Structure 1
Amino acid sequence: MCEVAMEEQEREISDIEPQEQPSVAENGVMMVVNHSQVHAPLSVVFATLLYLAEFITGAVLCSMYHKTDDNIWMGFTITFMLVPAVLIQLTLTFIHRDLGRDRPLVLLMHLLLLGPVIRCLEAVVVYYKAGKKEEPYVTISRKIHLKKGQGLPMEWEIGQSERTLAAHRNAFKRTAVIQAFLGSTPQLTLQLYATIQEKYFQPARLTLMIITLISITYGALVCSVLAIQIRYDDYKVRLRPAAYLCMIVWRGLEIATRITALVLFSTALTYWVILVGLVNLLFFFFLPWAEFWHKKGSLAEDVEKNFSKLGTTIVLCMFTLLYACINVFCWSAVQLDLTHKELIERKQRWVRLALYYCGRFVENFLLITLWYFYKSDFYEYVCAPLLVVQLLIGYSLAVLFMLLFYQFCHPCRRLFKYNVHDCLHCVCCYKRRERDKQRKSQPSYSTTGTMEMGLEEPLELLGAQNSEPPDLTRQLGERETAILDDIMEAA
C-alpha cells in the first residue's frame, strides 16, 4: 500500500522527472550504456572555465598592482586567488581518492593548481567514449542474468560512464561552492572597495568583478539545487527554465545588494566592518555546533571510514566554515545537522528562513543608514538617499523572487506540507482571527433580545440543526490555527 501511494504521488508531481526505462534491442538484449542517455558534462566545463578565468584575470590584475606599487591590493588579491585554489585541489583529490592510486600526472597537475583542468578533460573523454565500448565483466554478467531470467541491477542500466560523469559533476559542484564563497566573494568585495577608494574603474579590475559576480551567483545556484536534491533524493528532480531564471534573479540581487552594503559601510567606517564580518562568521559557525551540543548527539561516523575522531572533527569544522561563509553573504538553502550522516537536515524550516531574511534586511538597512550619516566627500555627486532606496528595493525584490520560487517554481512544491502562501496567510491573519473569535464569544444584547422575542415555540421542539446555523468561519479558524501550531513545532 505504501509503494502504491508513493507511485501515485510521484505521478501527480509534474516537475519531477520519471525514471527513464532502459532500451531493449531487437535481439532481446538490454543495452547497458546508451550514448544518447549520457548527459554532457556542461557543468564541469563551465566550472572549469570560471576557475581559469578568475585565476588568470586575478594574475593580470596582480601584475598591474605590482607595477603601480599597490602592495596591499596585490597581497589581498593573491590571497583570495590562492586560498580557494588550494582548497579546490584538496577537495578534488579527496573526492576522487587519488592519494592511494598511481596517477603521477594528475597529482602533478594538482600541485600546479591545474587539477580542475585535467579533471575536466577526463570528463570530456569519458563522455565521448560512452557507449562505444562495453566492459567485458558487465557483458558476461548480463548474459548470465538474462539466461537465468533475472532482471538487471540498476547500476548496470545506468552504466559505468554515466556513474563516472556523475562523480565528476558532484565533485565540481562542491568546488564551485568553495570557489564562490571562499574566493570570489571576498575578491569581489576587495575589488569594489579598491575601486571606490581609488575613484576610477580599471578594465582588468572591472573584468574580474564581473567574473566573480557570475561565479558567486553560480555557486549560490548550485547550493539551492543541491539542497533540493539532498532533501528529495527519492525522486529524480528536474528544474524547469522558469525555476532557474527565478533563482538567478533571486541570488544575483541578494548577493549584489549584500556586498554593496558591506562595501559602502566599510568606506565610511573601515574598522567597524571587520567587527560586523567576524560577528556574522562566528555566529553561523557556532550555530550548528550549539545545536549539536543541545541535542547531545554524537559525531557522524560515515563522513570518512578511514578518519579518526580528530580527522572527522577537522573535516566537520571546514564544512561548518564553508557554511558560515555562505550565510554571511546569502541564504545557504540548507541547515547543518552534524549528527546525521549526510550532515544536512532534510526538513524545510520556514521560520528559520523568515528569521534569516528579516534579520538580514534589518542589518543591511542599519549598515546603509550608518554609511549615509558617516559617508565621505566622495559621494557629493551621488544621490545618497536614492542609492539607499535602490539597495533596499533590490533586496526586497530578491526576497520576492525567493517567495515566487518556493510558491510556484519549486519542483517539489506539491510535497510541501505547507507552502509560502499558507505560512503568510496564517501568520498575518492569526491575530485578526483571534479578535474575531473573542468578539463572537461575547454575547450581543441586541441579538439576544431579538431572538427571544422571535421564538414562538419551545426550544425543545427545535432540532439541533435548526437552533443555530453552522459556524463555518470558526472551523476554518481552527484549521488554520492548527497549521500555525504545526509550523511553530517544526521550527
Structure 2
Amino acid sequence: MDYHKSNDVIWMSFTITFMLVPAVLIQLTLTFIHRDLGRDRPLVLFLHLLQLGPVIRCFEALVIYFKAGQNEEPYVTLSRKTNLQKGREIELEIGQTERTLATHRNAFKRTAVIQAFLGSTPQLTLQLYATIQEKYILSDRLALMIITLISITYGALVCSVLAIQITYDSIKVRLRPAAYLCMVVWRALEITTRVTTLVLFSTALTHWVILVGALNLLFFFFLPWAEFWARRGSLAEGVENNLSKLGTAVVLCMFTLLYACINVFCWSAVELDLADQELIDRKQSWLRLALYYSGRFLENFVLITLWYFFKSDFYQYVCAPLVVVQLLIGYSVAVLFMLLFYQFCHPCRSLFKFNVHDCLHCVCCRRREEPLELLDPQNCLPPDGAGPLGEREHVMLVDTIMLDTENLHMERKT
C-alpha cells in the first residue's frame, strides 16, 4: 500500500512478483508430487487454484496421522538401512499410511525450500534496500525482515539435511543437537552476510547489481546443463511417467532454476546430474565445495570493496572500514562453522575417505596426490576397517587365521 500511495511502480512490481511466483510454483510442486492431474480430485485442484493447496495438504496429513493405527494394514515395501553406531543392517516395514505421510512430509520440505529462496530471499533483499534508502527502520518492516531471515535459514537447513539423506540413502541418519546448532549458525551467517553485501553494493552501484545477480543466476543455471551436454547424456527417464520429452525438459528447467536461486545466496549442498533418474550426483567432492566458498568469498570482497569506494554521502556517519571487516569476518565465521560441522558433527563422517583436517593438511603441505572425494555412499564400510562397521572385517580375519591354524595342525598329525 505504501508503494501504491507513493506511485513507486517498480518496487510495487517487484514485491507482487516475488509474492506470486513462489506461490504459483508451490501449488505446481504439490500438484506434481501428489499426481493430482491424473486423478479425479476436482476440489483439491480448485483449492490449488485458490492458493490453498498447502492448507488442504496439511489438513489431509493430519487426518491420515490421527487415523493411523486404527486398522491393521499390510506393509507396502521393505526398507533396509544400516546403523553406523551398531554396525548392523535394519529392516523396516513401511505401510501405506506411513508412505503417504512421508510423501506429504517430503512435499512440505520442497515447498519450504521454494518459498525460502524464491520468495523470502528477494523480499529480505528488497526490504533491507528500502530501509537503507529511506534512512529509517519501521517496526513492521523489521519484523518482516526477521521472519524472512528465519524462513531462509530454515530453507537452507532443509537443503543440508535433504542432501545428507539423499547422499547416504542406505544409512539410517540421525543428527545430534550440536549438528543442528552448527548448521543454523553456518547458514544464518552465510545468508546474512551475502544479502547485506549485495544490498550495500546496490546502494552504491544500483544498475551494476542487476548484472551481478544475472551473471550468478545464469552461471548456476547453465552449469548442470553444460555438464549434461559435455557428458552427452540423455534426459533423465522416470522423472514422471506421464510427461513427454518437452514436459521433462520444463520440469528440469524449473529444478535447475531453484538450484541456481539457492546457489546465488548460499551453498546448495548438492550437485545436479540431469542424466541420472534421481537428478542428484551422490559423489560429492571437496573440490566443488572449496571452489564455491573461495569464489564466493572473493566475490563478496570485491563487491564490498567497490561499495567502500563508491558509497554515497549517507555513510559518512558510519564507520565504513568496520562494516567491511565485519562482513568479511562474518562470512569467515560461517565457513568455520561449516568446517566444524563436516569435521565433528556430520552424522556420516566415519564414511569420509578424507575429512576436513586431511584436506587442509593436503592443501598446506602438498604431500598427497589422491583426489579429495568422499567415499561412495553405497559402500557402508569405512576405509581400512576403521569405525564400528570395521568389526566385521576383524571377525572374518580372526576366523580365517584360526581355520588356517587348524589345517596346519591336521597336516602335522597326518
Q: TM-score, normalised by structure 2?
A: 0.84
Residue 86 of structure 1 corresponds to 24
CA, structure 1 residues 489+185, in 2 after alignment: closer, same or farther (shift >3 Å)?
closer
- Whole-angstrom distance in 1 between the partners of 2:372 and 2:96: 44
Is residue 2:200 matched to residue 1:264?
Answer: yes
Is residue 2:370 matched to residue 1:485?
Answer: yes
Per-residue CA distance 1:398-425 (angstroms, 9 max, x = gap):
0000000000000000011111111111
Which of the numbers 182, 207, 210 marks the counterpart of 1:246?
182
Using the TM superposition, give the Cα deviation of residue 358 of structure 1 relative to its aligned residue in structure 2, in angstroms.
0.6
Is residue 2:75 matched to residue 1:75?
Answer: no
Alpha-carbon contact 2:234-2:275 (below 8 Å) kept: yes
Residue 434 of structure 1 corresponds to none
Which of the numbers 89, 98, 105 marks the counterpart of 2:36?
98
Which of the numbers 137, 156, 159 marks the counterpart of 2:95?
159
Per-residue CA distance 1:255-279 (angstroms, 9 max, x = gap):
0000000000000000000111111
Residue 332 of structure 2 corresponds to 396
Residue 114 of structure 1 corresponds to 52
- Whole-angstrom distance in 2 between the partners of 1:488 and 1:411: 17
Using the TM superposition, give the Cα deviation of residue 293 of structure 1 relative to its aligned residue in structure 2, in angstroms.
1.3
- Whole-angstrom distance in 1 between the partners of 2:334 and 2:146: 19
Residue 133 of structure 1 corresponds to 71
Using the TM superposition, give the Cα deviation of residue 122 of structure 1 relative to its aligned residue in structure 2, in angstroms.
1.1
- Whole-angstrom distance in 1 between the partners of 2:62 and 2:138: 36
- Whole-angstrom distance in 2 between the partners of 1:291 and 1:72: 37
- Whole-angstrom distance in 2 between the partners of 1:355 and 1:175: 28
Per-residue CA distance 1:316-373 (angstroms, 9 max, x = gap):
1111111111111110100111111101110121011101101100100000000000
Which of the numbers 211, 231, 235 marks the counterpart of 1:275?
211
Map 1:417-428; keep pairs closer than 5 Å.
417-428=353-364
| SS at structure 2 position matched to 1:417 | coil
Using the TM superposition, give the Cα deviation of residue 134 of structure 1 relative to its aligned residue in structure 2, in angstroms.
3.0
- Whole-angstrom distance in 1 between the partners of 2:72 and 2:17: 46
Alpha-carbon contact 2:285-2:374 (below 8 Å) kept: no
Alpha-carbon contact 2:205-2:307 (below 8 Å) kept: yes
Code of the aligned partner of 2:207 = Y
- Whole-angstrom distance in 1 between the partners of 2:14 and 2:5: 16
Using the TM superposition, give the Cα deviation of residue 66 of structure 1 relative to its aligned residue in structure 2, in angstroms.
2.8
Per-residue CA distance 1:193-241 (angstroms, 9 max, x = gap):
1111111112222222111111111111111111101110001211111
Which of the numbers 327, 348, 351 marks the counterpart of 1:412?
348
- Whole-angstrom distance in 2 between the partners of 1:421 and 1:348: 17
Using the TM superposition, give the Cα deviation of residue 113 of structure 1 relative to its aligned residue in structure 2, in angstroms.
0.8
- Whole-angstrom distance in 1 between the partners of 2:243 and 2:97: 29
| SS at structure 2 position matched to 1:173 | helix
- Whole-angstrom distance in 2 between the partners of 1:390 and 1:376: 19
- Whole-angstrom distance in 1 between the partners of 2:142 and 2:244: 45
Code of the aligned partner of 2:331 = Y
Is residue 2:294 matched to residue 1:358?
Answer: yes
Using the TM superposition, give the Cα deviation of residue 159 of structure 1 relative to its aligned residue in structure 2, in angstroms.
2.4
Alpha-carbon contact 2:354-2:373 (below 8 Å) kept: no
Using the TM superposition, give the Cα deviation of residue 489 of structure 1 relative to its aligned residue in structure 2, in angstroms.
11
Residue 314 of structure 1 corresponds to 250
Residue 205 of structure 1 corresponds to 141
| SS at structure 2 position matched to 1:158 | strand
Residue 407 of structure 2 corresponds to none
- Whole-angstrom distance in 1 between the partners of 2:252 and 2:283: 20
Code of the aligned partner of 2:161 = V
- Whole-angstrom distance in 2 between the partners of 1:71 and 1:306: 41
Code of the aligned partner of 1:429 = C
Residue 240 of structure 2 corresponds to 304
Residue 322 of structure 2 corresponds to 386
Using the TM superposition, give the Cα deviation of residue 183 of structure 1 relative to its aligned residue in structure 2, in angstroms.
1.1
Residue 346 of structure 1 corresponds to 282
Using the TM superposition, give the Cα deviation of residue 488 of structure 1 relative to its aligned residue in structure 2, in angstroms.
8.0
Using the TM superposition, give the Cα deviation of residue 378 of structure 1 relative to its aligned residue in structure 2, in angstroms.
1.0
Residue 287 of structure 1 corresponds to 223
Per-residue CA distance 1:468-489 (angstroms, 9 max, x = gap):
xxxxxxxxxxxx52xx323289
Q: TM-score, normalised by structure 1?
A: 0.71
- Whole-angstrom distance in 2 between the partners of 1:238 and 1:419: 19
More strand by proportion, 1 or 2? Answer: 2
Using the TM superposition, give the Cα deviation of residue 429 of structure 1 relative to its aligned residue in structure 2, in angstroms.
1.0
- Whole-angstrom distance in 1 between the partners of 2:317 and 2:70: 65
Code of the aligned partner of 1:227 = A
Is residue 2:8 matched to residue 1:123?
Answer: no
| SS at structure 2 position matched to 1:487 | coil
- Whole-angstrom distance in 2 between the partners of 1:238 and 1:489: 19
Q: Structure 1: 5+ residue runs without aligned partners?
A: 1-62, 140-153, 431-479
Residue 148 of structure 1 corresponds to none
Code of the aligned partner of 2:209 = V
Q: Structure 2: 5+ residue runs without aligned partners?
A: 76-90, 376-414
CA, structure 1 residues 489+187, in 2 after alignment: closer, same or farther (shift >3 Å)?
closer
Using the TM superposition, give the Cα deviation of residue 115 of structure 1 relative to its aligned residue in structure 2, in angstroms.
0.8
Alpha-carbon contact 2:174-2:347 (below 8 Å) kept: yes
| SS at structure 1 position matched to 2:233 | coil
Is residue 2:126 matched to residue 1:185?
Answer: no
Residue 403 of structure 2 corresponds to none
- Whole-angstrom distance in 2 between the partners of 1:354 and 1:284: 16
Superposition CA RMSD, Å: 1.7
Residue 227 of structure 1 corresponds to 163
Residue 325 of structure 1 corresponds to 261
CA, structure 1 residues 159+488, in 2 after alignment: closer, same or farther (shift >3 Å)?
closer
Per-residue CA distance 1:248-300 (angstroms, 9 max, x = gap):
00000000000000000000000000111111111111111111111111111
Structure 1's consecutive aligned runs of 4 or more residues displaced over 6 angstroms after TM superposition are: none
